[in-house]
Amino acid sequence: MSVPLSILDLSPISAGSTAAHAVRNTVDLAQHAERWGYSRYWLAEHHFVSVASSSSLTLLGLVAAATSRIRVGTGAVQVGHHTSASIVEAFGTVDALYPGRLDLGLGRSGHRRSQFGAEASTAKGGHPVVDGVTGRTEIRDGVVVPPPFDPRRITDRSKFLASIEALQQPQAEAPDFADQLAEVRALLDGTYTAANGVALHAVPGEGAEVELWLFGSSAGESAALAGRLGLPFAAAYHVAPGTALAAVEAYRAAFQPSEQLAEPHVIVSADVVVAADDDTARHLASTYGHWVHSIRSGTGAAEYLDPATASPITAEQTRLVEDRLASQIVGSPDTATERLEALQKLTGAAELLITTITHDHADRLESHRLLAEAWGLRAARAA
């Protein structure tokens, strides 16, 4: 039996559209996803770019209210931009009305020690990264594994750094990720004590029926921490195809059983575009490279271009995004399911997390519908 499929939504804004339309599209897709048999609907968090998922904690409540059975969560809360109390109180508020349906996904993002730091200058095993390449792209049992991307190739960091400043109070510094995770867990289970020894209780929040997840894209702190604590782990192959498999390995190597899990539980993400045939899918995905280039050039995610009117991506632009283009899964239902099955088998994922971006909302709906049908999801259970 195939593993469950879930959806990760960035609420993309298409060229010529608005953030308001993107939010409405998110709610609409979530309702369809529930009917088609997807297991979870997770919301990303991105700021000051052309996606409408900047307030994932707010979207969480909107999607939960518009659906009835599908699990709803964050993929993931950028903890460096939030206090532990604000995260727990927000989830507790939604859980008060929709108990037992929420997934609290946390990611080590938003800290001043960022993805652009010195730690990014070497790949797994300490091998130097030269011009973004540590080797050639491999095909492992049908899965594209490109060389790790070197963030030093992003030369314009001004917008990223300005965003960090805008999202934190002056002079504020995010705590260590492990410490903040411990605070979140303590607030949820009612054991939180402030620095001065006073016990504090999150209302609402304490006792909320949420499932805690950690997100990661490399064999770093998040993967190891999730393993040691016996938490489920989400590996971001869609963002970091060159290091996500190493993240899964690191998580499994560090795993220790917990009250929540007796054995490792991994969900692996993939960027997917499905259409009736390979050519149509390739056309719909033809501006994906432009979109990734806008991110990696330092300006942040731009509006998603219409493939019918956009100029082809240039060779120079392609060099900055070729790993993401190679690892994107694009094609007919048969093509897509074959590659997803290979990804699931290689990683041993208990679930797969699908993110899809197209210019037209109707095409995004159709992509998810075709995949659900080809994968054998049981649409009737949400009818």
Structure tokens given for 359: 């210019």
**pLDDT digits over 368-380, tens only?**
999 999 999 987 4
Alpha-carbon span 55 to 77, nearest angstrom? 9
Alpha-carbon span 310 to 141, nearest angstrom? 34
Q: Note the pLDDT of residue 62.
A: 98
47 burial class (0-12, 13-18, 19+ CB within 10 angstroms)?
Answer: middle
The parent domain of residue 103 ranges over: 5-382
CATH number of the domain encompassing residue 118:
3.20.20.30
Structure tokens given for 58: 């707010």
Taking 50 as the threshold, does the pLDDT of residue 25 lie above it? yes
The reported pTM is: 0.92
Structure tokens given for 81: 């931009």
Taking 90 as the threshold, does the pLDDT of residue 3 lie above it? yes
Helix intervals (H) in 132-287: 158-166, 177-189, 221-229, 244-254, 278-284
**pLDDT digits over 78-119, tens only?**
999 999 999 999 999 999 999 999 999 999 976 544 443 333
Look at the chain and count its residues.
Answer: 383
Question: Considering only 102-116, 125-139, 199-213, which range has the smallest mean pLDDT?
Answer: 125-139
Q: Note the pLDDT of residue 111.
A: 54
When divided into structural domains, the chain yields a total of: 1
Higher-pLDDT residue of 159, 103? 103
**pLDDT digits over 253-311, tens only?**
999 999 999 999 999 999 999 999 999 999 999 999 999 999 999 989 999 999 999 99
Q: Note the pLDDT of residue 173.
A: 80
Q: Note the pLDDT of residue 338.
A: 98
